[in-house]
Each structure stands twice: as structure tokens, then as C-alpha cells.
Amino acid sequence: MSRARECQPTLNGTNVIIRPWHIDDADAVYAACQDSAIQRWTTVPSPYGRSDAIDYVTSIAASAWMDGGGIFAIVVAATGRVAGSIGAHRMAAGVAHIGYWSVPDLRGNGFVTEALRIVTRWFLIERRGARVELVVEPANGASTRVAERAGFTFEGILRQWMDLRGRRIDVAMYSFIPTDIGGALRDSHS
Ligand SMILES: CC(C)(COP(=O)(O)OP(=O)(O)OC[C@H]1O[C@@H](n2cnc3c(N)ncnc32)[C@H](O)[C@@H]1OP(=O)(O)O)[C@@H](O)C(=O)NCCC(=O)NCCS
């Protein structure tokens, strides 16, 4: 089946549901992306407008799926509320690069850590991927913690690896490969 006709899946966890974005989610994305931490640590447009949110949940999400990746809403299983976003991007040669953000007032509940475990497992098992990468600014303590709690391995610092809004930054490279499955991923989501 071609990628265009294959439906992006919904992935069920314990406390979160990982599902495709809908146009009705645009207001939640717009509100979340006003947050200063999301603006500081990620590549979302800044300032972030309503049209950016609409593009994200429609054309950007659709393009990611067509390109072999997937951008998903992280939804609180108990309430159905959008808690954040997680996406696999830049898929090439079996390698996915994952990025995420969460809604400020829902942070610290473990939702993104669980979402990262789920999407990593989905990519490595269902999509037969070879490697998942995360690049995090070393000063981003919350994201570093998410990577470690999800069982990713710190590989080192990549110096001046990317330009983030005019700042050339060092990043910490974290990875997860199929032989890592069995610990963090399997424990929580078998
Ligand atoms: C990074 C981010 C997605 C984490 O979201 P979250 O909903 O808080 O994630 P979780 O609840 O799953 O886990 C957060 C962990 O970080 C810890 N943490 C939070 N702030 C921290 C800080 N400043 N320093 C160290 N650890 C921190 C929490 O205690 C928790 O760890 P624990 O489970 O051991 O208690 C969220 O902070 C965010 O959206 N930040 C802005 C965007 C961003 O940085 N994206 C990633 C770019 S690489």
C-alpha cells in the first residue's frame, strides 16, 4: 500500500494516547506555542501565529507522514486534552530524528516520556527503523531528563551542530536502537 493511502495510526499508552493531528486541534497548538520555553528550545516559528498552527496540524503533519515520518498529538488518556506534540522527522536510511514539546500546565506528569517510548518503539518495530536520534541543548534540563528516562543513550556533544534562530549551538546527541528494546520501552508499553 502506498504511504498516501496508509492511515497514520493511533498508538495507545497507559496515560497518553498518541494520535494524528486534526484541524480542531489548531487552537490548542496555537496556545501552547506562545510558551517561552517552546520558543526558546525548539524551531517553531517565532512569533507563532494562528496560521502557523493551522499549517502544522494540516499540511506539515501530512507532509511528514508522506515523507516516511509522523507528527502526532500527545493526548491525556483520562481527559482527551492535548498535552503536547511529538514528531519523527528527517527520515533517511532508517534513521528518525524525534522532536517534542508539551503544554506548559501539563508538564511534569511523565506524558512526554511515555510518548517518546511509544513513538520510538513504533518506529523501530512497526516501521522497521534502525535508529532514533534526539538532539538536545545540554542546558535544556527537562528534555535531557526525558531522553534519559525513556532509555536513550547519550553519545556525546556535537559542536556547533545547528543554527537556532541565529544562535549556533552545541547539542547533546542521544540515540535508541533496536537492541535497546527490552528495558525502558518494553517495561511500560508491552
Ligand atoms: C521538554 C518537555 C517536552 C518535557 O515535557 P514534560 O511534560 O515535563 O515531560 P515529562 O513530564 O515526561 O518529564 C519531564 C522530566 O524532566 C524533569 N524536569 C523538568 N524540568 C527540569 C529541569 N529544569 N531540569 C531537570 N529536569 C527537569 C521532570 O522532573 C521530569 O523528570 P522525572 O520524570 O524524573 O520527574 C517540556 O519541558 C517542553 O515542552 N519544553 C519546551 C520545548 C522543548 O524543550 N522541547 C524539546 C527540545 S529538544
Q: What's the 2 CA to ligand 1 centre distance in angstroms? A: 36
Q: Flag residues of the chain having pLDDT under 50.
A: 1, 188-190
- The predicted pLDDT at position 68 comes to 87
SS3 at position 69:
coil
The pairing of strands 131-136 and 95-102 is parallel
What whole-number distance in Å separates Cα of residue 174 and Cα of residue 167? 21
Which helix (H) or strand (E) segment is 55 a member of?
helix 50-55
Output the residue whose Cα is nearest ligand 1's atom 16: 142
Q: Is residue 135 part of a domain?
A: yes
- The predicted pLDDT at position 122 comes to 94
- The predicted pLDDT at position 183 comes to 61
Q: Are the beta carbons of 146 and 112 closer than 8 angstroms?
A: yes
Q: Is residue 52 part of a domain?
A: yes
pLDDT tens per residue across span 106-130: 999 999 999 999 999 999 999 889 9
- The predicted pLDDT at position 6 comes to 80
Q: Is residue 3 part of a domain?
A: no
Of 44, 76, 68, 46, the C-alpha closest to 57 is 44
**Containing domain of residue 77, as a range?**
11-188
Q: Is residue 54 part of a domain?
A: yes
Predicted TM-score of the model (pTM): 0.94
Q: How many domains does the chain have?
A: 1
Which helix (H) or strand (E) segment is 66 a member of?
helix 61-66
CATH, residue 180: 3.40.630.30
Q: Is residue 5 part of a domain?
A: no
Q: Is residue 1 part of a domain?
A: no
Sign of CA pseudo-dihedral 49, 108, 22, 88: positive
Q: Is residue 85 part of a domain?
A: yes
- The predicted pLDDT at position 4 comes to 61
Pocket test for ligand 1, best of 146, 162, 170 (most atoms within 8 A of CB): 146
CA atoms within 13 A on the CB side of 96: 29
Q: Is residue 88 part of a domain?
A: yes
Q: What's the 189 CA to ligand 1 centre distance in angstroms? A: 20
- The predicted pLDDT at position 2 comes to 59
What whole-number distance in Å separates Cα of residue 22 and Cα of residue 73? 9
Output the residue whose Cα is nearest ligand 1's atom 25: 141
Please report the atom of ligand 1 found closest to the CA of residue 114.
Answer: 12
100 lines ligand 1 (CB under 6 A): yes
What whole-number distance in Å separates Cα of residue 177 and Cα of residue 131? 5
